[in-house]
Structure 1
Amino acid sequence: MSLKKIRKQLAILLLLSVNLTVCAHEGMWMLGRLNKQTTQSMKELGLKLPADKLYHPNKATLKDAVVSFGGFCSGVVVSTDGLVFTNHHCGFGAIQQHSTVQKDYLKDGFVARSKEEELPNPELYVRFLIRTEDVTQRVLGSVSPNMSEADRRSVIDSVMLAIQEEVHTKDSSVVGVVDAYYGGNEFWLSVYRDFNDVRLVFSPPSFIGKFGWDTDNWMWPRHTGDFSVFRIYADKNNQPADYSPDNVPYKPQYVAPISTQGYQEGSFCMTLGYPGSTERYLSSFGVQEMVEGMNQAMIDVRGVKQAIWKREMNKRQDIRIKYASKYDESTNYWKNSIGTNKAIKDLKVLEKKREMESSLKQWIQQAPGADSLSIQLLSTLELNYKNRKQTNRAMAYLGESFMNGPELVQLALEILNFDFEAEEKVVVSKIKDIMEKYANLDLDIDKEVFTAMLREYPQHVDSVYLPEMYNTIAKEYGGDYKVYVDSLYARSEITSPRGLQRFFERDTTYNLMDDPAISLGIDLIVKYFEMNQSINEASQNIEKGERLYNAAIRRMYADRNFYPDANSTMRLSFGTVKGYSPMDGVDYSYYTTAKGILEKARTHHPDPDFALGANLISLLKEQNYGKYADEKGEMKVCFISDNDITGGSSGSAMFNAKGELLGLAFDGNWEAMSGDILFEPKLQRCVGVDIRYILFVIDKYANASNLIQELQPSLK
């Protein structure tokens, strides 16, 4: 090989290594496959625990104190009687369900002074990880290279299902779930045990648990006491059981010890939880599609819907309570999309991806034995994304405008997908879920939302993507969206549970499928299906191309320590407590104090997002923090680390080097909202609420001495 060619290849390798190097603090690592390189990095940062104290399939370890909370958040067990700490926003839905105008637990908080006062939540569960197992060989053993992508997916799905059923058949108390990793190049089995009796124990008032509300969401500095407390119940044999007054507090295998010693900048910190999803290995074409499609659709459409909700929530207390949880969830992802698109632009994420892909393409072309498929990988991906661009974008707007827009449409779709042949327990649960949606629905608000969605959708898509109802509105209602919506709601029986009741009672005068809302749901499904089918070939090619792209990167760097994208399975991330500088002349400290709560309340007065209760103001002014103060006598409220987290990590335990609980992760920071796509070590931070502030609120504010006594054995 000529010297010139060697130099060229070395230059390419150097550029790739710059773009693909994994920072020591980057990564959401699988506990079941921690290698020496990862554990060594953790030890160098200060970890005192051996790896087998973090995870072991047959012994109680730190992972046995961490739970998936409801399938959408994380939590940590902190007492021998099954107390679980999670975020306030994770428990928000449960708190809202128990709230009324007379007993407004969202606004005023909730304290169970005894176990008898704890509130059941039939739809809530927690999940413990028992073990993980690599099943890649078995799953891919039935796949052949010449299979179509659809056939490949079908075969893989059937093998995954078989593995899951085998687990449950062997032990009916556990659940087996097989997940794809590395773009579908690896498959791992996770075995879980679920507990379905989870009761609300403590919730701070919203001026603590939601202090700053939407204004501060995704921001630093932060002063939010984002925590709530639940308890796991089991049967008398300590096994999972549905809610029963006879159930007893669960006796966990492992209880997370709690540290009141705090941290310093540079202190080791690790999180354990269930992060939702990241796209670190997604091509630049996929990132661009995300920015212009789903993210932009969420920004445009949810902004309209939320404005209507918020206006009405501000007018009436009953509406504020009914809409609190769904508004909170909707705005969280809406603001996330705004921040993500902004960060992708500001941090030049697409440019960095494209630069790497250009170098990768050169490397592939010069790799020995490279075939035409490999050489054309990136150009083929680009072409297929281009082929589905407009339709995929329209599907995003259709989903946000209607499938996730008016609640009447959501109810119609849920009823259409209802499995009446499922086991009785599942049917009862789904009916309760639907009834809860009816209880939190205001028809006048929903009609206004529907009318607004009908106006909004055509502004973003070509007329070819308009559902049939637009022709109906034009021909039968003179193009008047409001008149159409009023007529639809007046004629439909499913605007209340009455239609379902008539269906269940087999009322011969009522055909559910003829209900206009159900018919509309069917029309929307048909339209969505037609759009999806029109890009089916491109989508299958993209799925295959992204998998091959992922595999090519890993094959090229076989000695590199790659972590898989988050996929709602348990992960560990590690780093240090650390401040950051988001821009020239601005340096953010690694913690905030109670002093900042009072400062923000004064600065933002009379903004209700920062309004405080008189009793908290008095308590903070006294500065009587007792044993919860730091070495300076201050009360730390929140802190940040450079741990790698994402959505679903909310409620994750933040541990020190000894595996003691420092706090709960609850947010990321605005400047690095593109972190799900590209980790930004200088900017990306995990925001956590300090465990000492949590204990202070429980003890000094709420005077819940029963909980403090229960936690006493865990305090270090």
Structure 2
Amino acid sequence: MKKSFLILVLFFVSLVSLADEGMWMLNHIDKKTAQLMQQLGLEMPSSQLFNEHVPSLKDAIISFGGYCSGVVVSEDGLVFTNHHCGFDAIQNHSSVAHDYIKDGFVADKREDELPNPDLFVSFLIRQEDVTSRILKDIHPGMDETKRSYIVDSLSSVIENEVSEKDSLLRGVVSSYYGGNEFYLSVYKDYKDVRLVFAPPSSVGKFGGDTDNWVWPRHTGDFSVFRIYADNNNQPAFYSPQNKPFHPSYIAPISLKGYQNGTYCMTLGYPGSTDRYLSSFGIEEQMETQNQSMIDVRGIKQAIWKKAMESNDSIRIMYASKYAASSNYWKYSIGMNKAIEELNIIGKRKLLEDKITRFIEDKDEKKQLYGNLIDSLRISYESRKKLIHASSYFGECFGNASELLSLSTQAISTDFFSDSIAGRKIYESMVKEYSNISLSIDKEVLVAMLKEYREKVDTTFLPDTYKTIDEKYKGDCQAYADYIFSHSEMTTPRGLERIYSRDSTFNMFEDPILSLAVDVVTKFVDFYQIGADANNKISRDERFYSEIVRQMCEDKSFYPDANSTMRLSFGVVTPYSANSSSGIDYSTTTKGIFEKVERYKGDSDFWVQPALLNLLSKKDFGKYADKKGEMNVCFITNNDITGGNSGSAMFNGRGELIGLAFDGNWEGMSSNLEYESALQRCIGVDIRYVLFIIEKYGKAPHLIQELKLAQ
């Protein structure tokens, strides 16, 4: 037993001692981790990284729209983030006449900067441990439903206290370590955010789906926005009278670049990881969530892409949706591949054998946790068919036909309890119609109806399929034809009749709304059928996370990512999926020309002749490296995940050297397990960003706003 425990200790020592692993809470970096950061090259004291009382580096970091990250780089509120993070805004302002996706956009003066009513950025003001408040009325053995109710209720109370004290602040209570700890994050949201600069897609999306998640990269994945505020520098909705926001801290920008071994830290808002998840949870995610995404989105995207390639108006309309869908489609393919090749499930099962022995060796643990691993296995097995069906259901009916999604939202939304909020939701839904092609959407719906029937057991089919079989003789096309020719929801008129409470409109007789009711009903069925297993799994996964920390309680552990601000650190380092190929730690514009030639005729690698001409002159000026070349991208071993897109990449002095925008194909299992030899972070070199802004975009006025560190 002692030998087994020693092996376990060694396992976790290796797990937590890697300097490049971990998404750390800035106010919870312990002494040992801080020393590792300094050994690698951090020159700033921790008080300059995170300080709630005086301006610090964290005050230059933003959550961009709640789904990406960004960094403030000027006294007048300029923000750098990724091109794909700003893609919705770029697409919304684009048209065939003004194709900002293809050609890029630059605001020559402040009056030309484009507002984005639905976009906001958030600054973290402070964080507070509220675990004791949340768990004070919770006791061991409590029913999981009751526990969740208490947690949710107390979280809401704590969050409301923040806005009641200061209406400009927003509180969010987040769960850490599987629900064993809770922290309050207090944010200030700025809702007037304007598009300032976007490179052409031949820069911002160079390589497209082909290069996505692949090193080496040559993608200038950046865009520029500006935050506006009222006359008191406080948050305000868009108004022509608003002024550029003046931040408390501005990220300085380095023109010195980096070399092999240069310290690098990312600051941003990573979305979610599951590194304390059981093998059963990993297997379920692989076979259900990931596989349904692979199967269903592949079909949907093929329909979209065919239409996009034949019509510029459709290309602009669907560009952002296609990019968002395909990104996680390819990610799921890579994750499943990595899980198998790296034997992630097998490794986790070995850990679970040790957990079982750890519990059995201690009477108090056995009494508290019982047969934890067996309990997890039984619960996951009991919901296997249900989760398989619900995963395909979500992709086919919740994330495919846009008209169906709008209809589902319409019958599920209370427009009237809060008239202001209801009006805002209604207006937002009306706008969606401008981005829907009914002919494409009908083709998608037909494909989804067929795919869902093919992939799931008949017991999980909604009642709609009886209608299709009995009334339309099983012909999904005929059913869809009827829906799109008879529904009021094909135009905003149907939505307006719901919103205005038109008594002459029986919305449940409308065919698309009838389908939406069926979808919502089946979704509720899924939830109710799986409630017992879901509660047991939630409880046992929380125990699982707790035990992992108990077994090595003297070690430093970081919590899973949960969309709160995190720091990761590492170094610039060469990487190659094939060690014999000799790939370096950075790429140059030479690679752009090579790929343009290699993929001639492929739209993913088309570049404007004017840009190629500019790059061929090699007049890179102060943005060139020591060899006179222009670096485009670089790669580090920083620990990142989705949501880190747009994260600032700093050197040891806290100077901006790049923007994180991607991981690597071989490290796609990183949400589940960090592999130090494989996982990498790809960033766009900040010097390439500035070169494109100044020389290609002809916007030196933006460069003049920046704080450049020579």
TM-score over 0.5 for the pair: yes
1:547-585 CA distances to partner (integer Å, 9 max, x unpaired)?
Answer: 000001111211110000000000000010112242352
Aligned mate of 1:227, from 217, 222, 228: 222
| Equivalent position of 1:356 in the other structure | 351
Aligned mate of 2:6, from 10, 29, 36: 10
1:8-61 CA distances to partner (integer Å, 9 max, x unpaired)?
Answer: 54345445545x444111000001222112211111111000001000111100
Aligned mate of 2:676, from 672, 681, 688: 681
1:644 aligns with 2:607: no
Aligned mate of 1:213, from 208, 212, 215: 208
Compute the displacement of 1:491 (Å).
1.6
Match runs of 1:541-580 below 5 Å: 541-580=536-575
| Equivalent position of 1:710 in the other structure | 705
Match runs of 1:137-536 below 5 Å: 137-421=132-416, 423-536=418-531
SS at match of 1:76: strand
Asked if structure 2 preserves the Cα contact closer than 8 Å seen for 1:74 and 1:648, the reply is yes
| Equivalent position of 2:605 in the other structure | 610
Q: Structure 1 regions of 5+ residues with no counterpart?
A: none
**Alpha-carbon distance between aligned partners in 1 of 2:461 and 2:308, rounded to the nearest angstrom:** 31
Compute the displacement of 1:689 (Å).
0.2
Compute the displacement of 1:459 (Å).
1.7
| Equivalent position of 1:37 in the other structure | 32
| Equivalent position of 2:131 in the other structure | 136
Asked if structure 2 preserves the Cα contact closer than 8 Å seen for 1:74 and 1:274, the reply is yes
Q: Could you state the TM-score of these two structures normalised by the residue count of structure 2?
A: 0.98
1:66 aligns with 2:51: no
Compute the displacement of 1:683 (Å).
0.9
Q: Which amino acid aligns with 2:506?
A: N
**Alpha-carbon distance between aligned partners in 1 of 2:365 and 2:704, rounded to the nearest angstrom:** 66
Quickly say closer, same or farther: Cα 1:611–1:6, change in 2 above 3 A. Answer: closer
**Alpha-carbon distance between aligned partners in 2 of 1:306 and 1:31, rounded to the nearest angstrom:** 39
**Alpha-carbon distance between aligned partners in 1 of 2:615 and 2:4, rounded to the nearest angstrom:** 63
1:652-708 CA distances to partner (integer Å, 9 max, x unpaired)?
Answer: 000000000001000000011000100011111000000000000001111101111
Asked if structure 1 preserves the Cα contact closer than 8 Å seen for 2:415 and 2:423, the reply is no
Aligned mate of 1:121, from 92, 116, 122: 116
Asked if structure 2 preserves the Cα contact closer than 8 Å seen for 1:361 and 1:375, the reply is no
1:412-441 CA distances to partner (integer Å, 9 max, x unpaired)?
Answer: 111122231354443343223212211000
**Alpha-carbon distance between aligned partners in 1 of 2:266 and 2:515, rounded to the nearest angstrom:** 45
1:473-513 CA distances to partner (integer Å, 9 max, x unpaired)?
Answer: 00000111100001011121111101122233443321233
Quickly say closer, same or farther: Cα 1:203–1:379, change in 2 above 3 A. Answer: same
Q: Which moved more, 1:90-99 or 1:28-37?
A: 28-37
| Equivalent position of 1:588 in the other structure | 583
Kindly report the root-mean-square deviation, in angstroms, between the aligned alpha carbons of the 2 structures.
Answer: 1.3
**Alpha-carbon distance between aligned partners in 1 of 2:4 and 2:163, rounded to the nearest angstrom:** 55
SS at match of 1:483: helix
Q: Which amino acid aligns with 1:544?
A: R
**Alpha-carbon distance between aligned partners in 2 of 1:65 and 1:41, rounded to the nearest angstrom:** 24
SS at match of 2:526: helix
Q: Which moved more, 1:692-701 or 1:352-361?
A: 352-361
Compute the displacement of 1:360 (Å).
2.0
Q: Structure 2 regions of 5+ residues with no counterpart?
A: none
Q: Which amino acid aligns with 2:385?
A: Q
| Equivalent position of 1:77 in the other structure | 72
Q: Which moved more, 1:650-659 or 1:521-530?
A: 521-530
**Alpha-carbon distance between aligned partners in 2 of 1:476 and 1:633, rounded to the nearest angstrom:** 71
| Equivalent position of 1:56 in the other structure | 51
SS at match of 2:489: coil
1:90 aligns with 2:85: yes
How many pairs align? 710
Q: Which amino acid aligns with 1:136?
A: T
Asked if structure 1 preserves the Cα contact closer than 8 Å seen for 2:231 and 2:242, the reply is yes
Q: Which amino acid aligns with 1:177?
A: V
Q: Could you state the TM-score of these two structures normalised by the residue count of structure 1?
A: 0.97
1:606-649 CA distances to partner (integer Å, 9 max, x unpaired)?
Answer: 10100110111101111111110000000000001111000000
Compute the displacement of 1:363 (Å).
2.2
Match runs of 1:615-626 below 5 Å: 615-626=610-621
Q: Which amino acid aligns with 1:502?
A: R
Structure 1 consecutive aligned stretches of length 4 or more whose deviation exceeds 6 Å: none
Q: Which amino acid aligns with 1:430?
A: I
Asked if structure 2 preserves the Cα contact closer than 8 Å seen for 1:12 and 1:363, the reply is no
Q: Which amino acid aligns with 2:6?
A: L
**Alpha-carbon distance between aligned partners in 1 of 2:510 and 2:438, rounded to the nearest angstrom:** 17
| Equivalent position of 2:18 in the other structure | 23
Asked if structure 2 preserves the Cα contact closer than 8 Å seen for 1:15 and 1:359, the reply is no
1:275-329 CA distances to partner (integer Å, 9 max, x unpaired)?
Answer: 0000010000000000000000000000000000000000000000000111110
**Alpha-carbon distance between aligned partners in 2 of 1:369 and 1:648, rounded to the nearest angstrom:** 40
Q: Which amino acid aligns with 1:539?
A: N
